[in-house]
Chains A and B, each alone.
Chain A
């Protein structure tokens, strides 16, 4: 058949053939007559719409910080889980893990990748993830000031003129996940909650951590090792940033006791919390 986007149909087989509905078995058949001329070959171009591509960008903060390995490894785990997903199709889904030094890089990077794949009519954004430190004003880049800065600190980007100015070019449905501490608190100044009320996040589900987040080997419980707590041993096994409570670090390394369940990620849509669960719902290697 050749290229499915440029099919050529040879009609010469139909030459001098005639079919009729008056056939004996009463089956409805189309009647048609072709040219009686010899070698009557017609090339007919059939075009099918190209499938819309889907962009997935997993950002992680790449700066001199004790959390750096946790961010990069959690990002890699999410990448691998996406690539192992039943829905993943290499011809449609374009996944990248850009390391960033400032939060204000997110908007231009989305635009760059969108243009790289042919522009907004060819690709839509299916998922955004941000692996970083975070708080009520969102992800933090300690060493690079953001433009525009949040009202509190330049380490965070302002919602007005910053987050609300990004053209995400969403596919519907889509998701946006902030894996850093306290990014999804259900309070009036909660970050994910405030973003979800913005026009450029309309109808998008935004996830954030309800509490502080910690590294874990699995998404639904807080399970780690002493090695990882010393910021080594990151290359062994997957990494998830899961919600946890202070003072439960010992339990998280201790197989003899039950591991602490991960505190939920809360998810918001159009300014309201619509649910909460651990990230294993969408991000799990098992």
Chain B
């Protein structure tokens, strides 16, 4: 009887650990985000959180969703699983910036997702804490100061109108956390050009997801061949 119980406990323990790997936190949900700061500042702010994950349908390609955490002073609440990295888009009145960081603390004891908003020299900054113990130590990724949208585009080389529209939305729009879904991010232009320059045989070996193939301006014959190969695989 006792041996049986021990065996069961051991089995559950083994089952738990064999699900782990380099990604030790694959079954642990991310803590909810909390934003702290002067309410008079927060009520003029929008904070949208983009999280990137590994999607078995598109291994190695960027899959993410954007959810609003703070909209003009009102906090939202959401939880996600196994996040690789975060990009926090934030705006204060007509000023914007973005804070990007890897989710390194996802497998650590005391993991939190806290954002502290503070004002310095007329600019607004964000500081992220991933561990409770980091709050006292004041260790965590910190944003640059807020700038105008035009300055942001110029500084980051965002020239394409469609890209600018996507960024503008992420800085100023409301993304209902409950209705957002993960989607495959667009492929960058350099990779598209490189891929198009390959021979059909090379394209077949390259292994692009079919969603990307369909978006490309490929000849009908080539697309048919590549999609056929994808189905076979």
The complex places the Cα of A140 from the Cα of B102 at a distance, in Å, of: 10
The complex places the Cα of A266 from the Cα of B23 at a distance, in Å, of: 19
The complex places the Cα of A140 from the Cα of B56 at a distance, in Å, of: 24
Is residue A181 within 8 Å, beta carbon to beta carbon, of the partner chain?
yes
- Which residues in window 86-129 of A have CB below 8 A to B? none
| Cross-chain contact of A247 among B26, B62, B101, B207 (Cβ < 8 A) | B26
| Cross-chain contact of B14 among A153, A214, A226, A263 (Cβ < 8 A) | A226
B60 surroundings in chain A (CB, below 8 A) = 184-186, 210-211, 263-264, 266, 276
Q: Mark A139-181, 1 if CB is under 8 A from B, else 0.
A: 0101000000001111110000000000000000000000011
CB distance from B185 to the nearest CB of A (A): 7
Is residue A70 within 8 Å, beta carbon to beta carbon, of the partner chain?
yes
B22 surroundings in chain A (CB, below 8 A) = 67, 70, 133, 180-181, 212-214, 241
CB-CB under 8 A for A210 and B14, given A66-B24, A153-B101: no
- Which residues in window 184-226 of B have CB below 8 A to A? 185, 187-188, 190-191, 194, 205-207
Residue from A229, A252, A253 with most neighbouring chain B CB atoms (10 Å): A229
| Cross-chain contact of B61 among A187, A212, A213, A224 (Cβ < 8 A) | A187
Chain B interface: which of A12-20, A39-47, A267-275? Answer: A267-275
CB distance from B151 to the nearest CB of A (A): 18
Is residue B32 within 8 Å, beta carbon to beta carbon, of the partner chain?
no
The complex places the Cα of A70 from the Cα of B24 at a distance, in Å, of: 13
Q: Between A and B, how many residue pairs show CB distances below 8 Å?
A: 126
CB distance from B113 to the nearest CB of A (A): 14
The complex places the Cα of A246 from the Cα of B82 at a distance, in Å, of: 9
Q: Is the CB of B141 within 8 A of A152?
A: yes
The complex places the Cα of A182 from the Cα of B63 at a distance, in Å, of: 13
Is residue A136 within 8 Å, beta carbon to beta carbon, of the partner chain?
yes
Is residue B166 within 8 Å, beta carbon to beta carbon, of the partner chain?
no
Smallest Cβ-Cβ distance to A155: which chain B residue: B104
Is residue B133 within 8 Å, beta carbon to beta carbon, of the partner chain?
no
CB-CB under 8 A for A182 and B62, given A153-B141, A226-B14: no
CB distance from A209 to the nearest CB of B (A): 8
Q: Is the CB of A229 within 8 A of B14?
A: yes
The complex places the Cα of A4 from the Cα of B31 at a distance, in Å, of: 68
The complex places the Cα of A210 from the Cα of B59 at a distance, in Å, of: 6
CB-CB under 8 A for A189 and B59, given A214-B22, A247-B26, A252-B18: no
CB distance from B115 to the nearest CB of A (A): 14
Q: Is the CB of A229 within 8 A of B102?
A: no
Q: Is the CB of B85 within 8 A of A211?
A: no
Is residue A1 within 8 Å, beta carbon to beta carbon, of the partner chain?
no
List 15 contacting pairs A-B, 8 Å CB cutoff, sorted by A.
Answer: A66-B24, A136-B85, A140-B104, A152-B104, A155-B104, A156-B102, A181-B22, A187-B61, A187-B188, A188-B188, A213-B21, A214-B22, A229-B18, A246-B54, A263-B60
- A residues apposed to B, CB below 8 Å: 66-67, 70, 133, 135-137, 140, 142, 151-156, 180-182, 184-189, 210-215, 224, 226, 229-230, 241, 243-247, 249-250, 252-253, 263-264, 266, 271-276
New contact pairs (17) apart from A246-B19, A273-B191, CB-CB < 8 Å: A135-B85, A185-B61, A186-B61, A188-B62, A212-B22, A212-B23, A212-B54, A213-B22, A229-B17, A243-B59, A246-B27, A246-B56, A249-B20, A264-B60, A264-B207, A271-B190, A276-B60
